[in-house]
Amino acid sequence: MKASHWFNSFIVLLVLILTVDFRHGIYYARADAGGTGFVQTTATKFVINGKPFYLNGFNAYWMMMFASDNSTRSKVTDAFREASKYGMNIARTWAFNDGDYKPLQNSPGSYNEDVFKGLDFVVAEANKYGIHLILSLANNFKDFGGKDKYVQWAKQRGRNLSKEDDFFTDSVVKKYYKNHIKAVLTRINTITGVAYKDDPIIFAWELMNEPRCPSDPSGANLQNWVKEMAAHVKSIDNYHLLEIGLEGFYGESMPEKKQYNPNSYSIGTDFISNNQIPEVDFATIHIYPEQWLPSTNSSEEAQLGFVDKWIEAHTMDCNSVLKKPLVIGEFGKSFKLPGYSLEKRNEYFQRIYKAIYSSARNGGSCDGGLFWQLLSLGMDNMGDGYQVVLEQSPSTASVIAQQSRLLSSLT
């Protein structure tokens, strides 16, 4: 167990204060100073209240946006209810929308309270259904604003910036982002009355969805940014876990590992050195062979071979080099792919779930996975090809439920 977590757990014997919403009969737990109820790490394992904790869950980036509109809010509840029915215990969603449609952050430091209340609702419903949250704080891509929006804001205020990767180095942009971190972490939930940084239902903060800095293939700029921002997060909240949001691409710290990168990717990230930063509690990878592999090597057999090697390489590195847990933060299979079938999707999920369970059962570092993405009934317009609607896919739901049971048997 990390020294800071051991110290906090040993010194602070906590009593949970229960905040009761009598209108709904829901109890919201707040840990007075962190510790009890919070997920922590010990070597390559997650633990909660001293017991092992394995992850089986989903991505649903859309939750805050839908929760901020009364006409669509029920879709959030539906998603949590269905996920809970099949034993899922973790969800990953956005805690950002920067200057885009229904923005959370209209401009630097200016927030849309109705949208923030939508995020409050997401956190409250997660509490209600016992599903932990990974909250991502920014986007690498232009969807929902992304790092480019921060750079544009700075340019509008006189900064001489030329590229979106200036997000990682410009002092003004970094200040904007740090302020957003503080705004989210210190937010007092209008439903539960609990500050986000004090709510154990939040599993972890994520610095950015899939950070990339291709303008600096050396990886130095992103490495320095992660160091600075990870320290900033921990200065505000030292009880929740923190991860970066990486896809898993290797860099210059161990160049021999770059052979595992698909299509010779070199995008300024370094799975090893980025995750060796002390404030980073666990590592993540994403898996999209159909997007990453060159078209000349994109047979289904080649893709599955890549998946196996990708998981194995990163699990071994987390076992022996990083000595931290590993989470497969995104994986999925799109029905838009040639040759797609529901059976192939189920087999693909089972393949990844088997790797996770085998690692967990044998004491390895790969402790869970989250598929992309979960939708509720009636959300057809949000489909991207990867969506899973549990009510419409009972065979996939059964595969997910089986993984939940297997991981639960290990605790």
Could you give the CA distance from residue 103 to residue 170 in angstroms, rounded to a whole number?
23
For residue 5, the model assigns a pLDDT of 40
DSSP letters for 165-183 = GGGGT-HHHHHHHHHHHHH
Residues 6+ apart with CB under 8 A from 113: none
Could you give the CA distance from residue 38 to residue 137 in angstroms, rounded to a whole number?
19
With vertex at residue 365, the alpha carbon angle to CA 390 and CA 369, rounded to the nearest 5 degrees, is: 15
- Cβ-contact 210, 246 below 8 angstroms: yes
One digit per residue, pLDDT tens: the chain, 411 residues? 333 443 343 333 333 333 334 323 344 444 444 457 999 999 999 999 999 999 999 999 999 999 999 999 999 999 999 999 999 999 999 999 999 789 999 999 999 999 999 999 999 999 999 999 999 999 999 999 999 999 999 999 999 999 999 999 999 999 999 999 999 999 999 999 999 999 999 999 999 999 999 999 999 999 999 999 999 999 999 999 999 999 999 999 999 999 999 987 879 999 999 999 999 999 999 999 999 997 766 788 999 999 999 999 999 999 999 999 999 999 999 999 888 999 999 999 999 999 999 999 999 999 999 999 999 999 999 999 999 999 999 999 999 999 999 999 999
pTM above 0.85, yes or no: yes
With vertex at residue 144, the alpha carbon angle to CA 231 and CA 76, rounded to the nearest 5 degrees, is: 95
- Cβ-contact 366, 315 below 8 angstroms: yes
Alpha-helical regions (H) of 97-207 = 113-129, 146-156, 171-185
Residues 6+ apart with CB under 8 A from 346: 395, 396, 399
Q: Based on the residue annotation, tell me whether 279 is a catalytic residue of this protein.
A: no
For 238-264, what is the HEC assignment?
CCCEEECCCCCCCCCCCHHHHHHCHHH
- Relative to beta strand 110-111, strand 105-107 is antiparallel
For residue 35, the model assigns a pLDDT of 54
Domains in the chain: ranges and CATH? 48-408 (3.20.20.80)
Residues 6+ apart with CB under 8 A from 301: none
**Two tokens, residue 289:** 């062979």
Q: Which helix (H) or strand (E) holds 106?
A: strand 105-107
Q: Catalytic: which of 125, 164, 206, 210? A: 210
Q: Catalytic: which of 330, 343, 347, 391? A: 330
The single residue listed with the structure tokens 């029920």 is: 74
- Taken in order 152, 158, 162, 163, the sign of the CA dihedral is negative
For residue 156, the model assigns a pLDDT of 97
DSSP letters for 352-395 = HHHHHHHHHHTT-SEEEEEES-B--TT-GGG--S--B-GGG-HH
Q: Based on the residue annotation, tell me whether 330 is a catalytic residue of this protein.
A: yes
